[in-house]
Structure 1
Amino acid sequence: MIQATGLTKVYGAKAAVDRIEFEVRPGVVTGFLGPNGAGKSTTMRMILGLDRPTAGRVTVGGRRYRDLPAPLREVGALLDAKAVHGGRTAYHHLRGLAAANGIARRRVEEVLDLVGLTEVADQRAGGFSLGMAQRLGIAAALLGDPGVLLFDEPVNGLDPEGIRWIRRLMRSLAAEGRTVFVSSHLMAEMALTAEQLLVIGRGRILADTTMTGFIAANASTHVKVRSPDLITLAPLLTARGWRTAPADRGSLLVYGVSPAQIGDLAHAARLRLHELAVIQPSLEDAFMRLTADSVEYHARSRDVA
């Protein structure tokens, strides 16, 4: 289990992480979500002892990471797939880690096979693609057969087969009773992988709940409306007090109303409808709604002709 109490990290006048408290429990995959600059990477670095908290504490199995007698055997982590000496082969990179932690040589061969790098084990890591580097980083995280695993953006650079593989791997590790903590910006993938969610924004915990509970609390079913008369229909929808949002060209999303209500309104106004589709709420919808006030970097939208 990973446990944080009053965990705080201040850089200058800014609190990157502000008195957060949470538990990451074994047996489930816990997703860690937040906008850029929310404090995710800083939190993970403090768990691993790479950054020292300004206040509070975070423990793994009741102890700080630096107090663990054999860290690699208890905690495996992938934070930066390219943090490897480019001149070393995949095998020798893992062999060096294994030797430093009293891990048998055969375990190196096992994890290389597990992540699909056996055939390139003698190639230098500096020539690896991002996807291959990710697999090597995952192998390093698994090397000590640890009970706690942290992955930061583990699917970066992976092809569709690799994405499916890492998803199944994380779920299988959790099913074995391990603690699996994973951060990602890919909402669709996170929805398929995690059962628990921890959401952070501007350094503070915004939600700590189940995946289904988070979506139910922060998103709702809505209706996609496509019409050649949308310019006339849209003001009629908002005049009823129904919340709308632009979708793709020629369509709107309408919240808190049924397709029948929209259809009746359009019929009464003699307006054409080409599509009325019920859209189920998604993790992305829930995340965007909850973190709207926590986004630090906003790009200007551009209308598409």
Structure 2
Amino acid sequence: MDSEEEAKAKDILGRLSDSDLEGLKDTVTNKQISAHGRKDCISAIVSFSQSAKELLSRKRFKRDILIQYLYDNHITVSANSSKETCVNSIIKFWKSKSQHENQDAGIATPTKPEQQVSADHLLYQDNPEGGQTHAPVSPINVSITVNVLPQATSQPPSSEQVGEAFVTWFYKMLNSQNPTLSNVPEDFGSHHFWPDVNFKLLCVTPQPLEEEFTGADLTTQRLLALVKEEQLLFNPNISNEGMKVKANPHGQLVLIVCGTVHRGQDCLGEFEQLFGLLRDPRFDNNWKVKFTKLRITCSQVTAMPKLTAQAVGEVTALIPV
């Protein structure tokens, strides 16, 4: 690996637990190197790794860790993507980022920069013949158009794909309203909610707070206050362990997602949010929020949150199996 790849490899290695780092170090170095602490383990792993692909393909790098890394860097892949797809997406992202950094620094690059794969462009799909192909993204409506990768062009997207697309779109749009970010705020407003939407907010903090709002305007204003005035940022876990989606034949879709809550450089705790979505036939059958319940818990976070059985039960209770 070159120096730029080594720096990025050290960054993603920082997501592994202490035991996984120790085990990976022993595997890569054939137990010939002793290391003291995380920093030494990471340095040894990088030094003894022949390539980025070899490193990321190691068993210690679980698929969910790779998907979360891609999401944190605003690169969306399907929740059903293989580990190989995720590895190739990360390598492509690293190369693209390095080339853009070199251009910004005035350094000439011999090859044409590769386009970053994002939710607004292409999603990877596995090729049965081996390798990957780039498939055009077919849009589905989630109040605004959100792109997901269908299983086949003749079939509508699954409820899981709709749920993943909605979660990615919703929090990206909501977080963009945070004044501490440099990006331009996206279009977040009452038109994404049904007029009679119900919103329940529960904050489990030293000073507990419980609020309830009815109506699109009040719901929008309270959500905006969380990110604009309180400057919160929501990082959802879009893996199978962090999100549950259910749908019924009548067109209702219910999902729950968990993740971490941040302010600036600080992780404040965890959140769970339940959504009920319905299509609006007046607006091209776009999905709109019918009800939502947000629970924010102030706690020390040591790993990406996973949905509890109780949280999954909330979805099942609304749409029985």
| TM-score bracket for the superposition, by shorter chain length | under 0.3
Q: TM-score, normalised by structure 1?
A: 0.24
Which protein has the larger Cα radius of gyration, Structure 1 or Structure 2?
1
Q: TM-score, normalised by structure 2?
A: 0.23
Q: Looking at both structures, which has the greater relative contact order when contacts are Cα pairs under 8 Å and sequence separation is at least 6?
A: 1
